[in-house]
Amino acid sequence: MTSPTLIPQDCTSLPTGERCDATLPDNPQCTLNYHFGQLLGVEDFRVEQGFHLGRSRRHQRLLHGQGVVTGYAVSYKAADLELRVGPGYAIDAMGRDLALDAVQCVNLAKWWAARVQQKDAAFNDVLDRREFTIDLDLVVCYATCLSEPVPAIAEPCAGQASDLAYSRVCETVRLVLRRHQNEPDDSQPADLCLTLAHLRGVHVKQDGQSWLVTIADVDPDVRAVLLSTGALQSLLVPALDRPAPEAGPLLIDSGVQASADQVTLPFDHKLAPASVLGGVFTVTQFDQTTGWSLFNVIDATYVEAAAKPPTVTLKLDRALTAGLLTRVSVNGSGPTPLLGANLIPAGAARSDRDGRVLTITIQ
C-alpha cells in the first residue's frame, strides 16, 4: 500500500537495500560492564550504543507518545502540480525521531507516471483508467542511511566488495503517498508511519502522453499532535502552581445601570464599606452644544447580596438627560481611594501598588 515519493538526504537515487536499510541497536536493558584488559569487538560497541539509544526511545515512546511536535506544513501548488512538505519534527510509535531539515516536494504528474510504469499493485483498480478520482494519505516514516565509506579489512574470501565499509548510520525520514483506507486493515502489521495530511479528491486525468493530477483539498487536521514540554508548562504551570495575586476591585462594565437620578455600579470584589464615599465617584454628561456638565453625588449606598456582585448606587443631585454621553469614574488612587475588602485600592494590580481611576462610558 505504500508508494515512495520523496526520500530526503542522500538516499534519493539509491535502490532499497543498498544503503537505506541500515539498522541501529535498541536495547535499553543492558550495557557494558567494563573491566581491565577487556577485549572489545563490534557487538560490544553496538550494545553500548543500543543502551543509550534504547533508553531515549523508550522515554519518548512511554512518556510522550507519538505525533507531530512542530512543523511538517503541507501545501499544494496547483500551478506546478506540486505537493510540498516543510521541515518538521515528530516522534513515531517506537519513540524514534522523525526529523526533516529541508523542504521536500513532488510533482504529482511525475509521481503518478512512476506508479503506472512500476505497475504499483496498490492502484491495480485504476492503473488502466484515463480519468479517475481517489483519496490519498501523506505519511512520514522512519528511515536510516549509511554514509561516509572508508577502507575496511575484508573477511576471508569476501573479495574486493568488502574492501569498503560505511562508517556512519544516519537517521532520516521517508515521505510516502499511499491510498487512503476508510477502514483499517487488521490483517496488516502495525503501521509505524505518521499521517501528515489527508488528500481529498485527487483527480488524475491522462493528457496525451502525460498526466494531469490535481487535489481538491489538503487536510492536515488528521495528524496526531504532541505538545512540547515548554508549551505545556506555559499553559498549565501558571494555573496550577501560582495562586492568583490579590488585586483591587474592578468595575463590571456589563452590569452598569443608569436611570433618572441614579447610577448603579457592580464590582468584581467586595468593597471596604467605609471607603464608599460620594467624593470617590464622578459623574459627567456631554452635550454637543454646551459641552461637559458635572453631577454632584449626594449619596453612595453599598450593597452586598448573596450570589450577586456587590454594588454601589449613586444618588445624583438631578436627573440624567437621556441620550447624552455619560461617563462615571471611580477614584482608586491618591490619599482616599475606593478600597476592596482586602484594603487594596480599586484598579491596583497587587497590594503594594497604587490603584487607578476606573471609568465607564454609558451611551
Amino acid letter, 266: P
pLDDT at 318 over 90: yes
Quote the pLDDT of residue 240.
Answer: 57
Amino acid letter, 92: D
pLDDT at 10 over 60: no
The C-alpha atoms of residue 29 and residue 51 are separated, in whole angstroms, by 7
Which three-class secondary structure state does DSSP give residue 10? helix
pLDDT at 256 over 80: yes
Tell me which long-range contacts 163-171 makes (C-beta under 8 A, separation of at least 24): 166/19, 166/22, 169/22, 169/23, 169/24, 169/144, 169/145, 170/9, 170/144, 170/145, 170/146, 171/24, 171/96, 171/97, 171/99, 171/142, 171/143, 171/144
pLDDT at 60 over 60: yes
In tens, the pLDDT along 320-337 reads: 998 899 999 999 999 999
In tens, the pLDDT along 174-201 reads: 999 999 987 766 655 667 999 999 999 9
Which of the four pLDDT bands, split at 50, 70 and 90, describes residue 159? low
Mean pLDDT across the stretch 4-10? Answer: 39
pLDDT at 243 over 70: no
Quote the pLDDT of residue 108.
Answer: 94
Quote the pLDDT of residue 13.
Answer: 35
Which of the four pLDDT bands, split at 50, 70 and 90, describes residue 1? very low
pLDDT at 342 over 50: yes
Mean pLDDT across the stretch 65-73? Answer: 94
Quote the pLDDT of residue 164.
Answer: 80
Quote the pLDDT of residue 244.
Answer: 59
> How many degrees, rounded to 5, is the angle at CA 231 between CA 228 and CA 237?
125
The C-alpha atoms of residue 13 and residue 126 are separated, in whole angstroms, by 27
Mean pLDDT of the chain: 86
Which of the four pLDDT bands, split at 50, 70 and 90, describes residue 15? very low
Backbone dihedral angles phi then psi of residue 327, each to the nearest 5 degrees: -125, 135
The reported pTM is: 0.60
If you search the block for the grid coordinates 438631578, which residue do you land on? 318
Quote the pLDDT of residue 234.
Answer: 76
Enumerate domains of the chain plus CATH numbers: 2-236 (no CATH), 253-362 (2.60.40.1220)
